[in-house]
Structure 1
């Protein structure tokens, strides 16, 4: 199901700024994930703090766009991304039954991310009638998703994976209403999904190829075939961290190798 429209303007990321970011990194020779892939760059957002929003504002943009859906007008608003319980909260507010549904979303400032290993440690919402998503996005056909639907019968253990428009639904042993790490590794030709480091499934059809942003959101538009709702009580996802390890179109392998050598070729960081 296609349910995203990114209305914020795309921000160009200059190669010089990306190189500068990597040159001052504590891991100048990159990051090796558990599958053995080495990624050249990272964005690590530790949100387990009383001022998580200040961390978000370093590398992410809080969204404020709106869109008329089939059932309601859905409005992303800044007050639905907020500090709570020493972590970051993203929510869809309780809906009265009339008017707009107010939702929350963040997206990376960078739109040049192309392949990587992307992790979020979070508690999913429990209020019925909402969708919590963590995904890459360039367009409706260039998108990989991890999504949780609170109206699923077994929602504490059910996760939906996709390379749009292809979907798979997985039931895991972990309780997603406790803090759980969810991860997708986006590779050329394949996306692999994990829960707490354990592989759940891989998808090869429709794997994205375009440079993208990474997003996290909690939303509802009353769609009876997906989000259902909107929720009658606040639907809140709590997030401890979002760690992104990736390559980009702004920092190529040649510059990466040169920077690694200039730094003395230290060991690759394990992630």
Structure 2
């Protein structure tokens, strides 16, 4: 990506080498160190060395593009190295985008200031040169914890007329109006820098790593086949068991393991074998791969 496309003094080059998988060492213990030592998860690296005018960066994205209304959650430990942007976001195009972004240069451990930037990219932000900071769909919220010290669950709920943002199950902000997206898109996690003094700053003086422990997506699919499945299966929304609770901030809970919650759903393992392969699924989850859950909201 050229510096023009990256909108900064440096370009960005996303490389596979900057996405490092560190699977859990013990498949029965979720919060133990990884096989390579240190925190288990997908390590997203931004390099400190400039290569041909570009910063080496990292990104993971789903290949499916039918993620519609739903709740989207990721456990992330953000880098403490100044000069990068760590992002968890939903994307359709440059004017329909839901962002949770951490700018490490904004963190101040001395006074306990740890902001997170919550954004709906829209036509308004496009007209402002994609600087959403002065639009109505931008919030900078100070977190009540240090996001670089441990993993925390960050979440956004994409609904028909509003988007609600959370950290560890506590609401941070909600946005409504014409900037709320109106169609399906896909999920991404990225860690980047382009030297833009108004946003990422940097590049970092040393290699910077943000770590993702898990991603969970419970959503309505825009696929006709999935919608037809829903109509045929959900004949009585008021019936017992028609709705499934999704617990907040629980790293070990996946619908894949719950009996009768993933019937006819696309999962990594078939329903019959999923419950007996919990450990292997955890290992797969932490292997630099986004796990799309069962279509849990409404389907």
TM exceeding 0.5: yes
Q: Which of 96, 100, 118 is the aligned partner of 1:146?
A: 100
Partner of 1:83: 21
Deviation at 1:259, TM superposition (A): 3.4
Q: Is the 8 A contact 1:260 1:266 kept in 2?
A: no
Q: Is the 8 A contact 1:119 1:244 kept in 2?
A: yes
Q: Which whole-Å CA distance do the structure 2 matches of 1:104 and 1:96 have between them?
A: 14
Larger radius of gyration: 2
Runs ≥4 in structure 1, deviation > 4 angstroms?
A: 251-254, 264-267
Q: Which whole-Å CA distance do the structure 2 matches of 1:131 and 1:237 have between them?
A: 10
Partner of 2:36: none
- Greater relative contact order, per chain length (Cα 8 Å cut-off, separation 6+): 1
Matches within 5 A, 1:1-20: none
Matches within 5 A, 1:20-169: 66-68=1-3, 69=6, 70-84=8-22, 85-96=39-50, 99-154=53-108, 157-164=114-121, 165=125, 166-169=137-140
Structure 2: gaps (5+ residues) = 23-38, 126-136, 247-299
Deviation at 1:267, TM superposition (A): 4.9
1:183 partnered with 2:118: no
Q: Classify the secondary structure of the residue corresponding to 2:194.
A: coil
Q: Classify the secondary structure of the residue corresponding to 1:151.
A: helix
Please give the per-residue CA displacement for 1:46-99, whole angstroms capped at 9, x wherever unaligned.
Answer: xxxxxxxxxxxxxxxxxxxx3333311210111111123321101111135863
Instruction: Evaluate the alpha carbon distance shift between residue 102 and residue 159 of structure 1 in structure 2; reply closer, same or farther with a 3 A threshold.
Output: same
Q: Classify the secondary structure of the residue corresponding to 1:207.
A: coil
1:270 partnered with 2:245: yes
Please give the per-residue CA displacement for 1:160-216, whole angstroms capped at 9, x wherever unaligned.
Answer: 001113311001212211110000001111100001001111011311112101100
Deviates more, 1:207-216 or 1:148-157: 148-157
The TM-score, its normalising length taken from structure 2, stands at 0.64
Structure 1: gaps (5+ residues) = 1-65
Instruction: Evaluate the alpha carbon distance shift between residue 154 and residue 202 of structure 1 in structure 2; reply closer, same or farther with a 3 A threshold.
Output: farther
Q: Which structure shows the bigger proportion of residues in strand conformation?
A: 1
Partner of 2:229: 255
Q: Classify the secondary structure of the residue corresponding to 2:233.
A: helix
Q: Which of 210, 219, 225 is the aligned partner of 2:198?
A: 225
1:195 partnered with 2:167: yes
1:242 partnered with 2:215: yes
Q: Is the 8 A contact 1:137 1:143 kept in 2?
A: yes
Q: Which whole-Å CA distance do the structure 1 matches of 2:173 and 2:114 have between them?
A: 15
Q: Is the 8 A contact 2:234 2:242 kept in 1?
A: no
Q: Which whole-Å CA distance do the structure 2 matches of 1:142 and 1:180 have between them?
A: 26
Partner of 2:295: none
The TM-score, its normalising length taken from structure 1, stands at 0.70
Aligned-CA RMSD value: 2.2
Instruction: Evaluate the alpha carbon distance shift between residue 87 and residue 153 of structure 1 in structure 2; reply closer, same or farther with a 3 A threshold.
Output: closer
Q: Is the 8 A contact 2:50 2:56 kept in 1?
A: no
Number of residues of Structure 1 aligned to a counterpart in Structure 2 = 205
Deviation at 1:153, TM superposition (A): 4.1
Partner of 2:29: none
Q: Is the 8 A contact 2:221 2:227 kept in 1?
A: no
Q: Which whole-Å CA distance do the structure 2 matches of 1:246 and 1:190 have between them?
A: 15
